[in-house]
Amino acid sequence: MTNLSKTTFQAALAEGFEVSFEMFPARTEAGRQALCAMARRLEPFGPEYISVTYGAGGSSRDSTIETIKALKAAVSIPICGHLTCSDASREETLEVARIYRELGITHIVALRGDPKAGETVFRAHPQGFANAAELIAALRGTWPDMHISMAAYPEVHPESPSPEADLENLRAKFAAGANEALTQFFFDNGLYRDFLARARAAGIDGQIVPGIMLIQDFFKVRNFARKCQASIPPWLEARFAGVAMDSEEHKLLTAAYAIEQVLDLAACGVRRFHLFTMNKPELAEAICRVLGLARD
Ligand code: FAD
C-alpha cells in the first residue's frame, strides 16, 4: 500500500504537516473536564483547531455550546463549532451561530445533518435551510470573516443520485462561501485520491482535507461505516477477523492501520489531516508524533 521512501518522508517532514482534531460534545461536567484534559494533552502538538460536533437533529445543541466554552477556557487552540440545519428554522440555526460568535468562535463546520431516525430521506424544517449550501450562504452573508468548513464524500453521499451530482453539490458549497471541505472517513486511500482527481478534473480547486477515523473499536466502526456507506476493504476486515476488541493485538492493529493510512497519504502529497479522535487522545497523539509535530 505504501511506497514511501525515506527521502520523500524527510522532505514531507521538512515541509511540515497540519492536523485538526474532531471531538464529540460531553453531556456532563465530568465529561467536559475529561475533554479539556485531552485537549491540554494535545495542545503541545500545535493543532490548527479542535472541532466539536453537533448531535443529530440539533440534539446536542446545549452540550456542544457548553463543551466549546469549557475547551476555550482550557486551551489556546482555536475551537470550531459544527452546526447543522436539521429540525430547526433558519432563525434557530443562525441563533446558534450567533452564540458561537459571542463565545469568540470564528470557524464553523456547516452541515445539513442526517435524516431523522427511522427515515431515509432528509426533510427540511418548513422554515429551515434545505441543505448545507443554503446554510453556508447565510453564514457567509452574515459574517464575511467567518471560516467555514463543509463536508465532502469520497464515496459519494448516500442520498446523492450520482457522483457527478455530488460533485456539483460540492461546487455549490464552495460557491456559497465555504473555505474548505473535510471528508467523510474512508479506509482505502485510493478512494480519496480518485475523489480528489475527479474534483480537480471538474474544476473544483478548493482544499479537500481528508478525514481520518482513528479506530478505537473496529467492530463499532464497522457498524458506523455501514450507516454512512463508507466501505471497509476486505483486507482490513481480514486483519481484524477473530481479534478480541479489548486485546493488546486490537490496540496494535488500530495504531498500525492509522499510521499506515496517514503515511500513505503523506506520500501522495497530503499535508493536512482532520482526525476523528472519538474523544480518545492516544492515537491522535501517536499520529502527531509520527508527523513530526512533537515539541520538547
Ligand atoms: P449537503 O451538502 O446539503 O448534501 C446532502 C445531500 O443532499 C447530498 O446527497 C447532496 O448531493 C444533496 N443535495 C444538496 N443540495 C441539493 C440540491 N439543491 N438539489 C438536490 N440535491 C441536493 N452530522 C451531524 O449531525 N453533526 C455533525 O457534527 C456532523 N459533522 C460532520 C463532519 C464531517 C467532516 C462530515 C463528513 C459529516 C458530518 N456530519 C455531521 C454528517 C452530515 O450531517 C451528513 O452526512 C448529512 O447527511 C449531509 O450533510 P451535508 O452537509 O453533507 O449535506
Instruction: Give the residue whose CA is nearest to atom 37 of ligand 1.
Output: 151
What amino acid occupies position 233? P
**Cα(261) to centroid(ligand 1), Å:** 24
* Ligand 1 pocket test target in 49, 157, 182, 186 with most atoms within 8 Å of CB: 157
Q: For the chain, how far is it from start to end, CA to CA, in angstroms?
A: 32
Residue 273's pLDDT is: 98
18, 22, 29, 168: the catalytic one is: 22
More confident site: 58 or 176: 176
Task: List b or e across 170-199, with b for residues whose CB sees 16 or more CB atoms inside 10 angstroms.
Answer: bbbbbebbbebbbbbbbbbbebbbebbebb
Report the side by side order of strands in the sheet with 107-111.
207-209, 180-183, 147-152, 107-111, 79-84, 50-52, 18-23, 272-276, 211-213
* Ligand 1 pocket test target in 121, 125, 169 with most atoms within 8 Å of CB: 169
More confident site: 59 or 271: 271
Distance CA 114, CA 86 (A): 7
Of ligand 1's listed atoms, the one at least distance from the Cα of 54 is 28
**Known catalytic residue at 22:** yes
Residue 1's pLDDT is: 40
- Binding pocket residue ranges, ligand 1, CB within 6 Å: 53-54, 56, 82, 84, 109, 111-114, 131-133, 151, 157, 159-160, 165-166, 169, 173, 182, 184, 211
Domains of the chain, with CATH numbers? 6-290 (3.20.20.220)
pLDDT digits 0-9 by tens, 69-122: 999 999 999 999 999 999 899 999 999 999 999 999 999 999 999 887 777 788
Average pLDDT, the chain: 95
Give the side-chain half-sphere CA count within 13 A for 69: 10
SS (H, E, C) the chain: CCCCCHHHHHHHHHHCCEEEEEECCCCCHHHHHHHHHHHHHHHHHCCCCEEECCCHHHCCHHHHHHHHHHHHHHCCCCEEEEEECCCCCHHHHHHHHHHHHHCCCCEEEEECCCCCCCCCCCCCCCCCCCCHHHHHHHHHHHCCCCEEEEEECCCCCCCCCCHHHHHHHHHHHHHHCCCEEEECCCCCHHHHHHHHHHHHHCCCCCEEECEEECCCCHHHHHHHHHHHCCCCCHHHHHHHCCCCCCCHHHHHHHHHHHHHHHHHHHHCCCCEEEEECCCCHHHHHHHHHHCCCCCC
Model's pTM, two decimal places?
0.96
Strand pairing category for 211-213 and 272-276: parallel
Q: Is the pLDDT of residue 147 over 70?
A: yes
Rounded mean pLDDT, 144-170: 97
Of ligand 1's listed atoms, the one at least distance from the Cα of 56 is 25
Instruction: Give the residue whose CA is nearest to atom 22 of ligand 1.
Output: 169
**Cα(2) to centroid(ligand 1), Å:** 31
Rounded mean pLDDT, 128-145: 98
Q: Is the pLDDT of residue 3 over 70?
A: no
